[in-house]
């Protein structure tokens, strides 16, 4: 943890606050992102700290303690690097069926480890986040495009994970919503910040205040997802659409894709003039690359480019 690594008194203070936050999770049933009781300026409860004391069921039930001892921790997150024509696509499959894919300390640790590894892997072009538990999606700042495939329930933290992805696709039968106010807490994994950016402030407030759950068609109507599909007998319609999208991304220049994502994300947080300056700086990073020259040569020779991410 960063607190443990910080030197001197500041590091000790941060470490102490982290331990206090973990203890308060159990004592006062705090949700992720909450502040310590009696303080509006105290340390927030990080999701990883919150998970140590409580795991909230994706179906919206009350917080509960602990995890089953019969589940192998290494199976909670499955990382698959696809091959053949799908080479460059990575699938992160969440697999905690007994807990409806609710977050655990181990799952958060595995997700963090996977994200760190994928950030530095230049062979990775697109990442799909999906559930490997039928009927449930639960739940990242990654430099490559990320797609959330929602084939079932995405409530609370599950939707927050989907909101952290660049693109969201869902089956019409999927259910999604930020339902934390039903538990007398608020979304603490980025929901109060990302949902307004996705669908607008007024509608985001309405959905959070009401804890309303939307199906795929309703989510598409408000702009929460990009594509809605009729569910298939296999129960993976959203995943198949996500895979189709990922295949569309594969032929493009990998450096350009990463820089385009950076320009969009950074530009959305500033005014237009500053955003245009960010775009100019990002564009300049693509000019000296070998991929740009390969793109021009391939266009001239009327062939498909062979990009190497250089």
The catalytic residues are 160, 180
Specify whether the CB–CB gap between 59 and 39 falls below 8 A: no
State the Rg of the chain over Cα.
21
Number of C-beta neighbours around residue 180 at 10 A: 25
Residue 16: half-sphere exposure toward Cβ, Cα within 13 Å? 7
Of the candidates 246, 229, 247, the one whose C-alpha atom is nearest the C-alpha of residue 238 is 229
Q: Give the 3-state secondary structure of 220-265.
A: HHCCCCCEEECCCCCCCHHHHHHHHHHHHHCCCCHHHHHHHHHHHH
Q: Which residues contact 229 (CB under 8 A, 6 or more apart)?
A: 169, 170, 171, 172, 216, 237, 238, 240, 241
Number of C-beta neighbours around residue 229 at 10 A: 21
SS3 153: strand
Specify whether the CB–CB gap between 242 and 149 falls below 8 A: yes
CA distance to 16, 34, 44, 101, 277, per residue, from 40 (Å): 18, 10, 9, 31, 36
SS3 206: helix
Helices (H) and strands (E) in the chain, counts: 12, 9
Q: 275 is written with which tokens?
A: 């955003």
Q: 29 is written with which tokens?
A: 């049933």
């Amino acid at each position: 943890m960063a607190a443990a690594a910080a030197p001197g008194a500041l590091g000790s203070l941060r470490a102490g606050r982290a331990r206090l936050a973990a203890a308060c999770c159990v004592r006062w049933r705090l949700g992720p992102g909450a502040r310590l009781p009696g303080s509006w300026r105290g340390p927030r409860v990080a999701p990883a700290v919150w998970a140590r004391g409580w795991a909230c069921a994706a179906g919206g039930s009350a917080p509960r303690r602990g995890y089953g001892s019969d589940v192998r921790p290494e199976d909670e997150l499955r990382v698959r690097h696809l091959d053949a024509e799908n080479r460059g696509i990575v699938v992160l499959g969440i697999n905690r069926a007994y807990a409806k894919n609710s977050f655990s300390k181990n799952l958060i640790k595995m997700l963090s480890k996977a994200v760190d590894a994928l950030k530095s892997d230049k062979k990775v072009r697109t990442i799909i986040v999906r559930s490997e538990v039928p009927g449930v999606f639960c739940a990242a700042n990654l430099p490559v495009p990320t797609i959330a495939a929602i084939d079932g329930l995405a409530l609370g933290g599950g939707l927050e994970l989907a909101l952290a992805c660049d693109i969201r696709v869902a089956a019409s039968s999927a259910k999604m919503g930020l339902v934390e106010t039903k538990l007398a807490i608020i979304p603490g994994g980025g929901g109060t910040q990302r949902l307004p950016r996705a669908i607008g402030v007024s509608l985001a407030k309405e959905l959070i205040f009401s804890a309303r759950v939307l199906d795929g068609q309703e989510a598409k109507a408000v702009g929460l997802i990009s594509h809605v599909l009729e569910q298939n007998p296999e129960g993976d319609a959203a995943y198949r659409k996500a895979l189709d999208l990922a295949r569309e991304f594969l032929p493009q220049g990998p450096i350009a894709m990463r820089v385009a994502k950076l320009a969009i994300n950074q530009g959305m947080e500033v005014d237009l003039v500053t955003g245009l300056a960010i775009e100019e700086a990002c564009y300049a990073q693509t000019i000296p690359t070998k991929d740009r020259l390969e793109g021009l040569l391939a266009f001239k020779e009327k062939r498909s480019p062979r990009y190497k991410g250089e």
